[in-house]
């Protein structure tokens, strides 16, 4: 896996692609995007995820929350097949995960994506163009591919950055380029791990507005985000974990539940003040 792939990994359903509208912006299957059943995973003796079952429907916007070290990134990796579960089963796009063998239906933006150090010295256009490689294999890029790249850069508002080097962009700009790369590859699912760390408030709002638009277009989104306000503002459903699943349901039911305090309380990170 190259340095670039450390930032965005993709998995393609070899069973065929989702349908897209003429302008290439909407994609969607009706199948559940992700299904976890009784999934357990440990790093050696360190349990990270225990007995988690949940389904993410196609077109859903799921917020994944929990305290530091609660297993969010591990759970996301299990969803994408980057870790194999010790126990339980994972299905992606209605297929067993180990039968999903190719990479463009998922755009994964990892925790390090805003980090300048790991970015390759390629231009933004080249980076976004890499999103087409899964489509052309060893063939040459054609007009349709160049059009998909241009449309993706337009959608995320980085046309003016096309000739800039990825490792010379700000974190927020780089974030957009990675999203454009996923759009160019016609990803159906965007998996984002704390995508706005180090991004200023204005760019952050614009970034989340972009995610809303993409979700309105039908792209399934799974977002790990520590800012609970962002999650409750944006997500349709919330999964709250601390190794085990404390809550999974619509955002309203999450807000009304004690899941957050319970999950944070389990690691002693939330201090409850008692006034006798
Ligand atoms: N590569 C690894 N090797 C060993 N232990 C790991 C590894 N990655 C994570 N862990 C441990 O697994 C547990 C879950 O980690 P994970 O990164 O999934 O949590 P997280 O909720 O994403 O954390 P954060 O909010 O701090 O990013 C933690 O106890 C962590 O220390």
Domains of the chain: 4-265 (3.40.50.300)
- At 76-92, the pLDDT tens digits run 999 999 999 999 999 99
User: Among 254, 224, 8, which residue's Cα sits nearest to residue 115?
Assistant: 8
- At 124-177, the pLDDT tens digits run 999 999 888 877 776 788 888 999 999 999 988 899 999 999 989 888 888 889
Residue 51 makes CB contacts below 8 A (sequence gap 6+) with 38, 39, 40, 87, 88, 244, 245
Q: What confidence score (pLDDT) does residue 30 get?
A: 56
**Ligand 1 pocket test: which of 50, 72, 75 has the largest number of ligand atoms within 8 Å of its C-beta?**
72
Q: How far is the CA of 10 from the centre of ligand 1 (A)?
A: 21
Q: What confidence score (pLDDT) does residue 22 get?
A: 38
Q: How far is the CA of 43 from the centre of ligand 1 (A)?
A: 9
Q: How far is the CA of 152 from the centre of ligand 1 (A)?
A: 32
CA 98 to chain CA centroid, nearest Å? 19
Residue 275 makes CB contacts below 8 A (sequence gap 6+) with none
Q: Where are the beta strands (DSSP E) in the chain?
A: 19-20, 27-28, 32-43, 46-57, 61-65, 87-92, 95-96, 106-109, 189-193, 220-224, 237-242, 244-250
Q: Is the ipTM of this complex over 0.85?
A: yes
Please state, rounded to an integer, the average pLDDT across all residues of the chain: 82
3-class secondary-structure state, position 37: strand
pLDDT-derived band at 18, boundaries 50, 70, 90:
very low
Ligand 1 surroundings by CB, under 6 angstroms: 43, 46, 48, 66, 68-74
pLDDT-derived band at 231, boundaries 50, 70, 90:
very high
């Amino acid at each position: 896996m190259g340095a670039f792939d450390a930032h965005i990994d993709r998995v393609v359903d070899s069973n065929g692609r989702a349908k897209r509208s003429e302008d290439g912006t909407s994609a969607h299957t009706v199948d559940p995007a992700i299904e976890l059943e009784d999934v357990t995973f440990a790093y050696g003796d360190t349990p990270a995820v225990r007995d988690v079952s949940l389904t993410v429907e196609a077109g859903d916007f799921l917020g994944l929350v929990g305290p530091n070290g609660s297993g969010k990134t591990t759970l996301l990796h299990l969803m994408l097949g980057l870790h194999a579960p010790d126990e339980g089963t994972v299905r992606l796009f209605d297929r067993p995960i180990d039968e999903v063998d190719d990479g463009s239906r998922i755009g994964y933006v990892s925790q390090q994506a805003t980090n300048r150090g790991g970015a390759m010295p390629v231009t933004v256009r080249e980076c976004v163009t890499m999103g087409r490689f899964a489509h052309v294999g060893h063939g040459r890029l054609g007009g349709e591919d160049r059009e998909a790249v241009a449309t993706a850069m337009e959608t995320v508002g980085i046309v003016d950055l096309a000739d800039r080097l990825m490792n010379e962009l700000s974190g927020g700009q780089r974030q957009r380029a990675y999203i454009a790369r996923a759009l160019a590859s016609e990803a159906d699912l965007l998996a984002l791990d704390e995508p706005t760390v180090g991004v200023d408030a204005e760019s952050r709002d614009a970034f989340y507005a972009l995610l809303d638009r993409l979700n309105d277009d039908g792209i399934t989104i799974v977002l790990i985000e520590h800012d609970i306000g962002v999650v409750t503002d944006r997500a349709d459903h919330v999964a709250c974990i601390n190794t085990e699943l404390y809550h999974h349901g619509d955002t309203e039911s999450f807000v009304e539940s004690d899941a957050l305090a319970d999950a944070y309380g389990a690691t002693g990170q939330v201090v409850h003040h008692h006034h006798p």
